[in-house]
Structure 1
């Protein structure tokens, strides 16, 4: 894997010298296909090019540069300049931001997800950890709460989730483990195959991913209100590449973040409005979990946050401070 990435880096540098071009060209490594999850990356590429009259361009690659779980490695060695990754793919490499993947944090909308991500990304401990990978946090990829799709009898009680094989990462996976389920963290692009082949019984995704990766096409039911949490997937840039930008290029990049996030939110909002229509079209049953069962699930998952705080504190991170920062930010933003 690392040899492939290094070859890509060498090829990119060689091409740059061969053309002798003065324009700045970046490559951004994402995966899957263009979808709601990548709209802010597409938008920032568009805005940066507009603001610099085409002198600074960002080429968005869907899987052609790296595998999803290897994007942070690629950033660390400069194989590409920008990348998206999800914290749950390699929790040991980005321990601090996994606070945002803890279950049942109380985030109720995408705007709150942006607010808590921005607050955590700005914390010195988080930035220092990212520097170890030569990575600078640029913006988040806000996603709504995850829910399950599955086939056969709906898993609508904690008892029925016992033994359930579920595609779930990070804190969501730990929450399901707490009720006896068996989580697996296959990349999102492999979730359909895992469900189709019977490797997993259910898949936990945000709505856009159920559409993009086809798991909704395998489903007979969907949980509308389980809402155990979500994953956190930052967009990062290589620090050396960022530092090499001119002042004008850096301004074009930084000033485009908020507009790109707003574009993402607007696009995702339209998708959520269509979601019920999609379920009806595909004849997928909308399952509502009872308040009593939700309470059981939350109770079972409650120790996970305390365990995370202890574990991360033992590793030298200001875990309690990060957790409190999330709660404070939610309180300030309407939670």
Structure 2
């Protein structure tokens, strides 16, 4: 009887450990506060938990795990399992992805942004690039074209933008630099203070970020049609953590991606609707640059910066032209 009881106790204990081992808990590192930019991650956590009956959970942390510019480093050492980052924060760490931040690519919609992002993320060069950080590209955080809010007199010509201090990263920052502006890449979380203290005159963001970081509260004007480009902010997962998932949990994660990106697009549409209302409420002047000024901006920024980027990639052994062609092909396919 004692032997039977001992065997039963051991079996029960072993079952308990097995059940515990089946549970998976991931930490997800983002920054700021919950907003349109993070809704696909919140939705993913919800759906994955439902699909796995609570066995696979994700804790989305807003700044508690890492600084924005250090999320890729945290992924590389396994400090957390999933993270969001923006390529322009550290272009040397993720050079391949910066193709998506080149100015004036001609991407007009969030759906097109998803298409070109997915195409680049699937490119072997991009996957090899991020694997250096033990990171697997999972999904994009698509954002519309950036525009700037500013203080003082509206800057509606390139001449007026000469000497303008602008918070802008990546290719957008390069574009502004090409017309004589002075870009700075302070993290989004510091943009309000930079604007308030006069460190910058203007801030380039997508609409949700002007809301989230309150730069709209200081704005006197907004460029409605400059559209110089956007930043690309992938969601990545630690490769070891991904590969250690059970087949069921990995399938739950992978099969949720398309659903949550579609949810993100739908939700972001509400932000764009709200934007025009807030501009009116805060009496922010809508600045429309002339077609001639925008054409001058493109001529100064688009081709030279693209050619410089391709040459820089080639020098590093990265297929820059092929990555750029991948973007253009994906954009053409998306428009079909």
Aligned to 1:317: 318
Aligned to 2:170: 170
Query: CA-to-partner distance for each residue in 1:145-181, whole Å, 9 max, x for gaps?
Result: 0000001111110001100000000000000000000
Secondary structure of the structure 2 residue equivalent to 1:283: coil
Which structure 2 residues correspond to residues 176-191 of structure 1 after superposition, within 5 A? 176-191=176-191
Secondary structure of the structure 2 residue equivalent to 1:208: helix
198-207 or 266-275: bigger deviation: 266-275
Aligned to 1:8: none
1-structure distance, mates of 2:54, 2:108: 39
> Residue 22 of structure 1: CA displacement?
4.2
Aligned to 2:195: 195
1:81 matches 2:53: no
2-structure distance, mates of 1:200, 1:100: 25
Aligned to 2:296: 296
> Residue 21 of structure 1: CA displacement?
5.9
Aligned to 1:130: 130
Which structure 2 residues correspond to residues 17-166 of structure 1 after superposition, within 5 A? 22-166=22-166
Aligned to 2:8: none
Aligned to 2:4: none
Secondary structure of the structure 2 residue equivalent to 1:111: helix
Secondary structure of the structure 1 residue equivalent to 2:328: helix
Runs of 4+ in structure 1 deviating by more than 6 angstroms, as ranges, are none
Aligned to 1:14: none
Q: Return 5+ residue gaps in structure 2 as ranges.
A: 1-16
2-structure distance, mates of 1:277, 1:291: 25
Q: Give the TM-score taking structure 2 as reference length.
A: 0.93
Secondary structure of the structure 2 residue equivalent to 1:83: strand
139-148 or 272-281: bigger deviation: 272-281
- Paired residue total: 318
Aligned to 1:212: 212
Larger radius of gyration: 2
Q: Give the TM-score taking structure 1 as reference length.
A: 0.93
2-structure distance, mates of 1:84, 1:299: 33
1-structure distance, mates of 2:28, 2:335: 34
1:326 matches 2:327: yes
Secondary structure of the structure 2 residue equivalent to 1:142: coil
> Residue 329 of structure 1: CA displacement?
1.0
> Residue 238 of structure 1: CA displacement?
0.3
> Residue 270 of structure 1: CA displacement?
1.2
